Each structure stands twice: as structure tokens, then as C-alpha cells.
Structure 1
Amino acid sequence: MELLADFLFLYTMDVQQILVDVTDPGNFSFQECLIFLGRSDKESLHFIREGRLQKVILADGIPVLLTISDHGDGRVAIDVLPVAFPELEEKSDVLSTAAVAEIRRYVTRWLHLDADLRDFYKWADANPLLEGLPSRYRGLRLIGIPDMFESLCWTIIGQQINLAFAYTLRQRLIEHFGYSITVDGAVYNLFPRPEVIAALSPEMLTPLQFSGGKAKYLIATAQEIVAGTFSAAMLDSMSYQQAKERLVALKGIGNWSANYILMKYGRFPEALPLEDAGLHNAIKARMQLAAKPDAALLKQITGSWQEHAAYATFYLWRTLLPQ
């Protein structure tokens, strides 16, 4: 059974613009963020066109196409085009206050617009492993995943497989159970909603090359969210340690997955996905090691990272991309 909804959006109103202030604007580079966001040609949830970032999200229940650009004065501009599914009865001619607030929160969380990098840069330039990276990638923010359910699914999907295949599996999930939207001839995708995945059986995912375990974990996670036993509001109200403990209590979420979610969604600065293969490869290359660092060396290297752990990890990941 395919639950894909492939609709042509109808315009409901003119484009509206929202301006969002950037914290520490001297250390913000929209271009550096675009480089990271454009790292894979398999990406299908956002697009970069003519130096602008485009994505469809739901804001206060209304689908909107966001076109994000650098406003050039310490602010980011978000051009918002509300669109409507033809079969929806309710339509709005104006963005609600709640929708505007949700769009602001989403983009701020996605691009980490409220981060202040000055302390991290000072610390990194004094760290032999990270020295020079602040100047090389100045203004790069830790690109997040603002939707908690999507971040959970992405970590489950990406476990023990390479990044290219993880993108392939995610795209299959979107194609079969998400939404495909056409605006001005361009196709945009919405990630599946928890209630859709919660209603599946593992046998509906395994033909898409999901392992039996991953299929069960995705469904179980969605069911917890639908049942209200786990939510973004709960996670947002917790300390780092509380959030980590709650995440690893979910089926299929271990230490790496929990820290990845707390780094990319939760925005906890101390989140450190220590088991991450990309982090190991970056450390190996930076230190010119003959082999990947073992657990003891990793703990020695990262032991002092503390509140800089998430950004240190992210900047090391950046070194793995083409310059």
C-alpha cells in the first residue's frame, strides 16, 4: 500500500516576507551553510537554487514554500508562499501569528541563527586538532534537523550503513509514505507524518530494503509520538542527561543516535556522537594517523570538548567535504 500524496499545489495568496535577526552576525555565512546543505545530490527535502534555500514545511498546519536568503544586514529573509492541497476545505488568506512564529522557529533552529560562535572559535583556535578551522569555515552554523520525528527517523535509517544508501532509504520512505508537491513545475517533498508511519507494518517497509529491525524501530517510534508518550515538547523541556536517557529508552536508539538527535535537533552544545564513523575519519585525517583512533584515544581527544563538543564534531565533519 502506498500512501504517497502527489498533489499540485494551488496558490492561495501572494508571497510574504519574514526577516529573522542573526545572533553574532559577524560569524554567520549563509554561503558556508549552503555548501554544507548542498553536499549531496541525493537530497530531496530541500533545494538550493540561485543562491537561495527552498523547502516546504507545515506551519500551523498550513503547507508553505520557504525561500530563504541572506538579507545582508545581519538578517535572513524568508519569502513565504502559502499553498493549499486542492481537497482541503479550510484555506487562509493570511499567515496566522502562530504560523509566522513557527516559521521563525523552524528556520532559526535549522540554520542555528541564534548561536554565538565567538567562544567556540576562540577555543577551537587554541585546540591543535581544530586550529585553523574557524577561519577556513568562518560563519558556518551547525545545520540542524528542526523536526524531531524526522531527526529520529534519520538516525534510525542511517545506522550501520553508508550515507549514500541512507539517503536512498529515506527517499523511498518519502516516495511511498510522504507527500510530493509541485509548485511552478518544481517538485518538493514533505517527510512522512508520524501517524502515517505508526499505521504501517514492518512488511510494508522491508520490500524497500529496510531491515526488519529498522522497520520495527521506525514504526515503534512513530507509535510513541502518536500515543503522546514521547514528544518534542517533552524533549525540549529536559536537561541534556534527561533527554539522552529518554531517547535511549526508545527502541533502536543507542548512544550515537541519541547524541546525534540532541546535537541536530535538541541543540545541546555538549552532545557528542563519539561512535560516529565520520568523526573518526576526520580525526584520523587531521592527526595523520595510520588507522582510525581507538576508543581510548577518542576519549582522550574529546575529553575537554564539553560545551564545544557539538560544534567541534560538526566542523570536523565539514573537513570531509570538498574544499
Structure 2
Amino acid sequence: MISLPITDYEHFSFAECRLFLNRSDRECLHTVRDGAVYKLLAPEGSPVLVRIRQEAGKPSLAAEVLYGEVTGEGEDHIRRFVTQWLHLDGDMTPFYTFSAKDKILGPLTRNYKGLRLIGIPDLFETITWTITGQQINLAFAYTLKQRLIQALGYVLEEGGHTYHLYPHPAVIASIQPEDLIAMQFSKSKAAAIIRVAKLMAAGELSEEKIRALSFEEARDTLVAIKGIGPWSANYVLMKFAQHPQALPLEDAGLHNALKAQLNMPAKPTLAEVKHITRHWQQHAAYATFYCWRSLTNG
């Protein structure tokens, strides 16, 4: 059993995190079942299935290996991955203090108390997911993601359930745009995804490089890649690099949430979104994430 300590346990709810993780029936990279989260990982190159549950009476979660074997180094990898994925090491007090005085965020933090910013600890997955989701609705984005994973990722059948690993950059780098177009990716998205895969497979773009950069440097590095605009770059820096000031201003979901929370007759313009969110600053990523949560039933 791998213990996963939780910082600021008072502001943590595993139930809220599970609700967010379970928002799409097309999600195939994790499974929420019986109060637990199941996730297939490859901490040391081989598939390992873990079950993540709340530790009764303790300010921590526990990850149990159900399939595969890990060394101490593999356990450390799992601990780091889940901690980043569920932002277990986050101090939520500043955000909750800030939100208490905000007419938009106050009700959201009360309604979804304990929700952490669910990240994507894999840079390649984050970038390709945001490219996939450009200018289409979330349901179709999940469909495309599912097709990509089922066709090119790793599949494990265990205990009557199916689990998947996201395709490795080297795998995507070896295919042709037509392979993705056949899955209904647009030509531009297919080209962009393969372009990123080749950069990462060659080591020209890496998780270590992005993490070592400042927010502005990382944003500029990402935007310099054809197919990645400001919205995608901010999404990556929010979900992968955990930069608190990341704000995907152009995000349609954010616009819809602001419209609903402020009872606006129409979706706000980009100028209005900039005005509404101008004071979020170091709370922008969490504020955006809670706005997204408000769009999901439950």
C-alpha cells in the first residue's frame, strides 16, 4: 500500500474529485467505481494497475497495486503522479479566502468544497488533448480521444474490466496524418499532434524543459509550436505545469460558466471575460477550474 499524504486536508474532498473524474462516460484513462479510482500507469516501463482510495481516519489516500510489480522507485513515481494528478500537495486556504469575498467564486467554493484542480501529469497527453479539443464540443473531443487511445495506446484486461495507457510520443510520431484523419481528426489537428509527438520523441520538447521555465517562458515556448495557440498553452500550463496564474481566456466553457453565474443574457465577449477575471491573478487556474465544475451536473 502506497500512502499519499494530503496537504490542507480540511479543504480536500475525495468525493468531489471523483465526481469530476467521472464526468464523461467516454473517459478511458481512468475508472471510478465503488468509491475508488482505478488508473493504469507505467512507472518503470511496465503496466501497473493501481486502485486509489481514501484511508479511513487519516489525512491521506492510499494507492494499492492490483496488477504488475513495482520497486521502491516505482512506488515513488506513483506517489508523485497521483499527488500531481489530484493536487494533493496544494494549500487551498489562500484560494478559499480569496473566493469567500467574490460573488462568482464564493458560491462555487461552497458548492464544491474540497475539489482539487485535477491535472494531467503527462505533458504529451496534455498537449494532444488540448489540440484535440480545439473548436469542438467536449463530447466529441472525448470521442476522438477514446479512438486515439483504443487504436494506439496500451490495453489491459483485468478482473473483467478494461484499462488503457495513453500512446507514447514515439508511437504517434511513427504514424501518418491519414491515420488520425480516419478517426475524424481534422487535417490541421492530425498534423499538429504528430508534430508534437516528433518533438517529444526527439527530446526537443520535454516535461523537464517546460517545468524548468517561468510561466511566460513556457507559454512562449508552447505558442511557438504550430497548432498551439494561447488557449492551448494556458490549458497546458494550468493542467500539467500547475501554474496558478494560467488563464485560458478564450475557453468556451469558462464563458458559459460566467454567463450562468452572472445571469448574463448572452455569453460574455473576450473583452468582458478579461474584465471579469482581471483580479483573479494567482488564483486564475483554480477559479477557471471551479467555473468548469459548475457546468457538470452532480
Q: TM-score, normalised by structure 2?
A: 0.98
Tell me the equivalent position of 1:230.
205
1:33-182 superposed matches below 5 A: 33-72=17-56, 73-83=58-68, 95-182=70-157
Q: Does 2:154 match 1:189? A: no
Counterpart in the other structure of 2:16: 32
Residues 102-160 of structure 1: CA deviation (Å, up to 9, x unaligned): 10111001100011111101101111121222221110000011111110110010001
Q: CA deviation at 1:62?
A: 2.3
Query: What is the CA–CA distance in structure 2 between the aligned matches of 1:248 and 1:299, rounded to whole Å?
Result: 20
Give the distance between the partners of 1:44 and 1:175, measured in 2 at CA. 9
SS of 2:42's partner is strand
Q: Which amino acid aligns with 2:65?
A: V
1:269-308, Cα deviation, whole Å (9 max, x unpaired): 0000000000000000011001111122111111111100
Give the Cα–Cα distance (whole angstroms) in 2 for the partners of residues 263 and 239 of structure 1.
Answer: 13
Specify the code of the residue in structure 1 equivalent to 2:51. T
Q: 2: distance between equivalents of 1:251 and 1:105?
A: 31
Q: What CA deviation, in whole Å up to 9, does each residue of 1:39-79 have, x standing for no partner?
A: 11111111011000001011021211010011131101000
SS in 2 for 1:47: strand
Listed as ranges, the gaps of 5+ residues in structure 2 are none
* Aligned amino acid, residue 239 of structure 1: S
State yes or no: 1:245 paired with 2:220: yes
Pairwise CA RMSD: 1.0
d(CA) in 2 for partners of 1:177, 1:319: 33
Partners of 2:202 and 2:276 in 1: how far apart? 41
Amino acid corresponding to residue 200 of structure 2 in structure 1: I
- Write the distance in 1 (CA, Å) between the matches of 2:148 and 2:46: 22
The letter for the 2-side match of 1:259 is N
Q: Distance in 2 between matches of 1:242 and 1:123?
A: 27
Which of the numbers 186, 194, 198 marks the counterpart of 1:219? 194
Give the match's secondary structure for 2:104: coil
**In 2, Cα distance between equivalents of 1:259 and 1:34:** 24
Structure 2 equivalent of residue 300 of structure 1: 275
Distance 1:322 1:214 in 2: 30
2:173 corresponds, among 181, 186, 198, to 198
Aligned to 1:275: 250
User: Could you tell me the TM-score, scaled by structure 1's length?
Assistant: 0.90
Q: Deviations over 1:155-199 (max 9, x none)?
A: 010001101110111111112111111011211111111000001
Amino acid aligned to 1:46: H
Q: How much does 1:82 deviate?
A: 4.0
Q: How does 1:255-266 map to 2 (within 5 A)?
A: 255-266=230-241
In the alignment, the residues of structure 2 paired with residue 295 and residue 212 of structure 1 have an alpha-carbon distance, to the nearest angstrom, of 27
1:81 alignment partner AA: L
Helix, strand or coil for the counterpart of 1:189? strand
Structure 1 segments unaligned to the other structure (5+ residues):
1-16, 84-93
Structure 1 residue 95, shift from structure 2 partner? 2.2
Aligned-pair CA distance for 1:80: 1.3
- Contact 1:33/1:143 (<8 A) preserved: yes
